[in-house]
Amino acid sequence: MADPQESSLINQVSQVAVPGLGCDLGAAGAEFEQSADGLLVKLGFPHAGISAELEASVAAAAGTKTVLQTEIVRHSAQGGMATLPAIKNVIAVASGKGGVGKSALSVNLALALAKEGAEVGLLDADIYGPSQPTMLGLEGQQPVSRDGKTFDPLEAWGLQVMSVGFLVQREQALIWRGPMVTQALQQLMFQTQWRELDYLVVDLPPGTGDIQLTLTQKIPVSGAVVVTTPQDIALLDARRAVAMFEKVSLPVLGIIENMSGHTCSQCGHVEPLFGEGGGAGLADEAGLPLLGQIPLDLRIRAALDEGRPTVGQDPESELSLAYRAAARSVAWRLALRPRDYQAAFGTISVEST
């Protein structure tokens, strides 16, 4: 029989609000373990940016020593597909159209997950227009192959990175048909020697074509994030991206609204250049959460042009904190998804004798 006093304590602590998520620890999927040494609270998502504040709130509610612990686990992929040995979770970042800042968001989202305390990789799946080498300051570098068959990922700002941009000249146009493009994606994914990752963020090309289809059929994805701007045209195409993922039973974690408002660098006035409320409206319409709103800011573009992404070079800036809040929301929504237990059991074979 459970100790009534222990149950009361856990019930009380489970009602502590999690900063920035709009829910309490219970709704955030926290697990609790009480011992003679105090109370252990396990969260299934990285949370370094709010850890001190949350730990103080939990300690005040519990009246005893408390410890917050991150425990990121594997979550099930579409169609029961087995997850990859070195990668716990693949997160696809998609948009229905180009020009919404998806690649800029992908790299800063990956960096934000890392700053929050996770091991993170970034796969640039935009085969025709790879931009991550430039954004991460890796232009001109090439991955090393130690066995002649696979590549070691490059590293930048604490991320493991792979892109077709490392394998071709900067000015080279990739005039490839669909089968070659899909084969390239699979090679980048499966022939890279990823080291143990909590999350692999996949920066998809815009649209709903061959790359997206290959991703849904061949690569185990734990969840997708759809990026849009507030304007009507972008929202129309973002709806198509959501519909595509739903059609192939790939879970959509939510919507991130990029270019959510421009702050004048001279006077500080905020102007909604692309409209306002579009991301929230799409989220409501699709029954999905709005995971974050990232402003339109000159500094984001300038930092990426220099190969010094915002979250990497200044993780405590106001802009970086917006990315980190969005990253915590993405990881939290993923943590609520069903777990994948296949890897724990391995492969069972039956042979006749």
Q: What is the DSSP string of 194-258?
A: --SEEEEEEEPPSSSSHHHHHHHHHS--SEEEEEE-SSHHHHHHHHHHHHHHHHTTPPEEEEEE-
Residue 3: predicted pLDDT: 62
Q: Is residue 343 part of a domain?
A: no
Among 40, 70, 100, residue at a domain's last position: 70
CB 25, CB 16: distance < 8 Å: yes
Residue 25 confidence (pLDDT) above 70: yes
Taking alpha carbons only, the member of 292, 294, 281, 295 closest to residue 235 is 281
Residue 25 belongs to what domain range?
4-70
Residues 96 and 212 occupy one common structural domain: yes
Residue 224: predicted pLDDT: 96
Round to whole Å and give the CA distance between 201 and 180. 22
Residues 131 and 14 occupy one common structural domain: no
* 48-57, 230-239, 264-273, 315-324: range with lowest mean pLDDT: 264-273
Q: Is residue 91 part of a domain?
A: yes
Taking alpha carbons only, the member of 163, 77, 118 closest to residue 327 is 118
Task: Please give the residue that has the higher pLDDT: either 329 or 238.
Answer: 329
Task: Please give the residue that has the higher pLDDT: either 180 or 268.
Answer: 180
Q: Is residue 219 part of a domain?
A: yes
Among 70, 102, 128, residue at a domain's last position: 70
When divided into structural domains, the chain yields a total of 2
Round to whole Å and give the CA distance between 167 and 196. 23
Q: What is the mean pLDDT of residues 248-260?
A: 93
Residues 46 and 147 occupy one common structural domain: no
Q: What is the mean pLDDT of residues 295-301?
A: 92
Q: What is the mean pLDDT of residues 260-281?
A: 79
Mean pLDDT across the chain: 89
Residues 158 and 16 occupy one common structural domain: no
Question: What tokens appear for 183 in the block?
Answer: 């084969």
Residues 93 and 172 occupy one common structural domain: yes
Q: What is the mean pLDDT of residues 50-69?
A: 91
Q: What is the mean pLDDT of residues 281-300?
A: 94
Residue 1: predicted pLDDT: 40
Residue with tokens 């892109």: 163
Residues 27 and 152 occupy one common structural domain: no
CATH code, 310: 3.40.50.300
Q: What is the mean pLDDT of residues 317-322?
A: 96
Q: Is residue 190 part of a domain?
A: yes
Residues 185 and 296 occupy one common structural domain: yes
Round to whole Å and give the CA distance between 210 and 216. 10
Share of the chain above pLDDT 90, in %: 65
Among 70, 102, 122, residue at a domain's last position: 70
Exposure letters 226-243 (e unless 16+ CB within 10 A, then b): bbbbbbeebbebbbebbe
Q: Is residue 344 part of a domain?
A: no
Q: Where are the alpha helices (DSSP H) in 3-117?
A: 4-13, 51-62, 102-115
Residues 171 and 129 occupy one common structural domain: yes
Q: Is residue 340 part of a domain?
A: no
Residue 104: predicted pLDDT: 96
CB 298, CB 102: distance < 8 Å: no
Q: Is residue 117 part of a domain?
A: yes
Q: How many residues does the chain have?
A: 353
What does DSSP assign to residue 192?
B
Residues 303 and 284 occupy one common structural domain: yes
Q: Is residue 138 part of a domain?
A: yes
pLDDT level of residue 250 (50, 70, 90 thresholds): very high
Residues 181 and 270 occupy one common structural domain: yes
Question: What tokens appear for 174 in the block?
Answer: 């990739």
Residues 239 and 274 occupy one common structural domain: yes
Residue 263: predicted pLDDT: 76
Residues 176 and 66 occupy one common structural domain: no
* pLDDT tens sequence across 117-170: 999 999 999 888 889 999 999 998 999 999 989 999 999 999 999 999 898 777
Residue 237 confidence (pLDDT) above 80: yes
Give pTM, 2 decimals.
Answer: 0.92
One-letter identity of residue 345: F
Residue 4 confidence (pLDDT) above 70: no
